[in-house]
Amino acid sequence: LAYYLQFKDNVRAFPKGFTMIAGDQNRRQYTAKPEPPKSLWTDEDRDPDVMSQRSIGFNCLNYQMQAEQTLLRHEMPSKGHIDGQCKNGLRLEIVFPSCWDGKDISPRDQHSHVAYSSLIMDGDCPNTHPIRLPTLLYETIFWTPQFAGVEGKFMLSNGDESGTSYHGDYMMGWDEGVLQAAVDQCRDLSGKIEDCPIFNIDYDSKCEWTPPTVAAREVCQGPRMGLCASEGRECLP
Which pLDDT tens digit goes with each residue over 32-52?
A: 999 999 999 999 999 999 999
Of 17, 31, 6, nearest in space to 137 by CA:
6
Residues of the chain with pLDDT under 50: 234-237
Write down the pTM of the prediction: 0.86
- Structure confidence at residue 206 (pLDDT): 79
Backbone angles phi, psi at 177, to 5 degrees: -65, -40
Of 78, 89, 199, 195, nearest in space to 139 by CA:
89
- Structure confidence at residue 214 (pLDDT): 75
Q: For residue 36, how far is the Cα from the chain centroid? A: 22
Rounded to whole angstroms, the Cα distance separating 223 from 116 reads: 36
Read off the pLDDT of residues 51-71 as tens digits, 9 standing for 90 and up: 999 999 999 999 999 999 999
**C-beta separation of 175 from 64 below 8 A:** no
CA distances from 104 to 12, 182, 188, 206 (A): 15, 23, 31, 37
| DSSP one-letter code for 50 | H
Both ends of the chain: CA-CA distance in Å?
A: 28
Element of type H or E holding 142: strand 135-142
pLDDT above 70: percentage of residues in the chain: 92
